[in-house]
Structure 1
Amino acid sequence: MTPQTLILIGIDLAAALVLSLGLYYRRHHRRDLVVAFLGVNVGVLAVATVLGTAEVALGLGLGIFGVLSIIRLRSSEISQREVAYYFAALAMGLMAGLPTTDPWPVGGLIVLLLVVLWAADHPAVLARSRHQVVRLDRAIADEGELRDELAERLGGQIASFTMQELDLVNDTTLVDVRYRLGASRRVSAGVR
């Protein structure tokens, strides 16, 4: 292995630990996904390092992204946020494992990826935005009345909602709602 490869492996391992333990686990506390992120990262790093010639690099990268995309489509337990962490772990391993003569641009891109995830997933960013699936104990077919009911019950400004189920027999309404905490007030009728 070249010194550049060893430097990139070191950068990648440090970045994978920061991503999974320093960012993800400190904020979301899912131990199982820490193991998954580290496993994906180191696995991709190993495969890319062993197979990473200039001729197979592009195909290898696309193939690994494709496999993980299929895994994501078959899993219902992870959120879109967690998918972002998966792809970051994968991208870091892939970038660090491919051959290069200068490791520092790749290291810079890995740091950039960590900074973007840190900022985008920071608790202060969009801290008042919420998403809930709510089952109301009465059937409400009128959208204006439903919006008002949701705003009152959730104590926030309704940004959008989708009625998922209107059960007139059992007198319930199931709604997927996105809202903003704070003063309960109605937004314009055009937003839905």
Structure 2
Amino acid sequence: MTPSALILIGIDLAAALILSLGLYYRRHHRRDLVVAFLGVNVGVMAVAAVLGTAEVAMGLGLGLFGVLSIIRLRSSEITQREVAYYFAALAIGLVTGLPQTDPWPVAALVALILVVLWAADHPAFLARTRHQVVRLDRAVSDDDELRAELEARLGGTVSSTTIQELDLVNDTTLVDVRYRMPRPGARSTARVASAHAGTSLGSGATTGADR
């Protein structure tokens, strides 16, 4: 085994540990996926190193992407974020497994993958954007009424809604909603205004609990 191959193996192992433990596990704490990321990465690197040519590796990479897609459909559900980690682990293993005379351009590509995932999955990136599947306790078919209901319950500005189930018999609505939370300062102001409004109702107001 050449010195450059040994350097690439070291780069791959270091990158896989950073990806799975330093980034993913530190933020999301799923041990089973750490095992999966490490297994996929080292397995792909070993296969690519054995096959050893760019033509074979290209076909191998496409085939592995297809296999992972099938595995995802037939296994327990994972999020799109976790799919991104899967493909990053696969890509790192693939590029480091190919024979290279100069390993440092490969190291730069691996570093780029890690930096992009670190930034894209950072808690501060699009932190106020939310996605929920909500079941309302009444059937709502009007879009404007549905949006107002969701904004009142979720406390954010709704950007899109998709009604997945409108049950007129049981009087429920299942809706996929994407919304944006207000800034912390604005949220506190809204709470204070709501509290003042509730206080100003006086003794003539009746709440659901009072009834």
Matched, 1:97 2:97: yes
Give secondary structure in 1 for the equivalent of 2:21.
Answer: helix
Matched residues, percent identical? 82
Match of 2:170 in 1: 170
Consecutive unaligned residues of structure 1, counting only runs of 5 or more, are: 185-192
Match of 2:112 in 1: 112
Q: Note the C-alpha offset of 1:76.
A: 4.7
Aligned positions of 1:142-181 closer than 5 A: 142-181=142-181
Amino acid in structure 2 at the alignment position of 1:10:
G
Consecutive unaligned residues of structure 2, counting only runs of 5 or more, are: 188-211
Give secondary structure in 1 for the equivalent of 2:54.
Answer: coil
Aligned positions of 1:8-157 closer than 5 A: 8-157=8-157
Instruction: Tell me the alpha carbon deviations over residues 62-97 of structure 1, each in whole angstroms, 9 at most, x when there is no partner.
Output: 222221122223335100000000000000000000
- How many residue pairs get aligned? The number is 184
Residues in 2 aligned to 1:125 and 1:88: alpha-carbon distance in whole angstroms: 19
Residues in 2 aligned to 1:136 and 1:2: alpha-carbon distance in whole angstroms: 63
Please give the TM-score of this superposition, normalised by the length of structure 1: 0.92
Moved over 4 A (4+): none
Instruction: Tell me the alpha carbon deviations over residues 154-179 of structure 1, each in whole angstroms, 9 at most, x when there is no partner.
Output: 00000111000110100000000000
Residues in 2 aligned to 1:122 and 1:77: alpha-carbon distance in whole angstroms: 22
Aligned-residue CA RMSD in angstroms?
A: 1.2
